[in-house]
């Protein structure tokens, strides 16, 4: 009986000791200052937002994050502030055991630039985003399209972004007064009339077939206009 009591006392004492040590370590860890802020941009993207801007967003109570104790740093709040930035799609903020504050940033991806009074980008989700102070995206320029018309033109912009052939050749998109869309090509000067945004896959398939044949025939420079408006046809106008 005495041995059992002694065992219980030893176990209880050990438990108390572990609790005290854990509380001490936790308190010490809370008081330890953040040593370094490390920012990582995930995926290979152009720098539409830079590390300096992200660092500024990682400031709490007008002090640098590196001088703020871990106990008053609310990571969820920091993430919300980063995610609210107009150039950031998603962020992940966490602390390491070494006292490092790490922020993983995924930027928004523009696929077109609208040439308006106040120019803006259209991103991969079809939403608008402002121009960047850090980098100018190499994307097609859109003319005669207002912000309220972005949803209408977005299927065409997405098609250009996803199709390697179009992405390589198309540098501009125009909306005509008749509601038809025209593509500007990087090399050739003929007008490429897409027409309305319908049957895009079939229109692009027909144009690719025409392009390859005309390339072999060395006749691409002889056209003034190439129209994809008509069903299963490519109608060309000679200069």
Q: Tell me, what's the pLDDT at 16? A: 45
Q: Per-residue pLDDT for 28 more than 80?
A: no
Q: How many domains does the chain have?
A: 2
219 and 115 housed in the same domain: yes
155 and 177 housed in the same domain: yes
Domain harbouring 90, CATH code: 3.10.20
Distance CA 19, CA 159 (A): 61
Tell whether 47 is covered by a domain. yes
Of 184, 179, 205, give the one whose Cα is nearest residue 228. 205
116 and 183 housed in the same domain: yes
Q: Tell me, what's the pLDDT at 18? A: 39
Report yes or no: 147 and 116 within 8 Å, Cβ to Cβ: yes
How would residue 33 be classed by pLDDT, with cut points 50, 70 and 90?
A: low
How would residue 56 be classed by pLDDT, with cut points 50, 70 and 90?
A: confident
Residue range(s) defining the domain that contains residue 126 = 110-238
100 and 210 housed in the same domain: no
Name 120's bridge partners: 114, 130
Distances (CA, A) of 14 to 9, 24, 216: 8, 15, 85
Domain end position, chosen among 75, 107, 139: 107
DSSP 8-state code for residue 218: T
Domain harbouring 118, CATH code: 3.40.50.11690
């Amino acid at each position: 009986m005495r041995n059992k009591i002694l065992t219980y006392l030893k176990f209880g004492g050990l438990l108390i000791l572990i609790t005290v040590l854990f509380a001490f370590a936790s308190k010490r860890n809370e008081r330890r200052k953040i040593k370094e802020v490390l920012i990582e941009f995930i995926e290979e993207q152009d720098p539409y937002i830079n590390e300096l801007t992200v660092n500024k967003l990682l400031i709490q109570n007008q002090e640098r994050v590196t001088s703020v104790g871990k106990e008053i740093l609310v990571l969820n709040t920091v993430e919300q502030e980063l995610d609210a930035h107009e150039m950031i799609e998603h962020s992940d903020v966490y602390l390491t055991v070494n006292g490092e504050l790490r922020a993983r940033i995924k930027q928004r991806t523009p696929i077109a630039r609208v040439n308006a009074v106040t120019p803006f980008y259209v991103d991969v989700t079809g939403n608008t985003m402002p121009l960047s102070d850090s980098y100018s995206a190499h994307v097609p320029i859109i003319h005669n399209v207002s912000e309220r018309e972005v949803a209408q033109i977005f299927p065409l912009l997405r098609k250009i972004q996803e199709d390697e052939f179009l992405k390589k050749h198309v540098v501009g998109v125009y909306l005509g007064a008749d509601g038809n869309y025209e593509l500007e090509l990087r090399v050739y000067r003929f007008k490429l009339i897409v027409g309305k945004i319908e049957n895009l896959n079939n229109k692009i398939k027909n144009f690719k077939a025409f392009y390859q044949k005309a390339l072999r025939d060395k006749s691409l420079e002889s056209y003034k206009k190439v129209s994809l408006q008509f069903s299963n046809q490519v109608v060309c106008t000679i200069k």
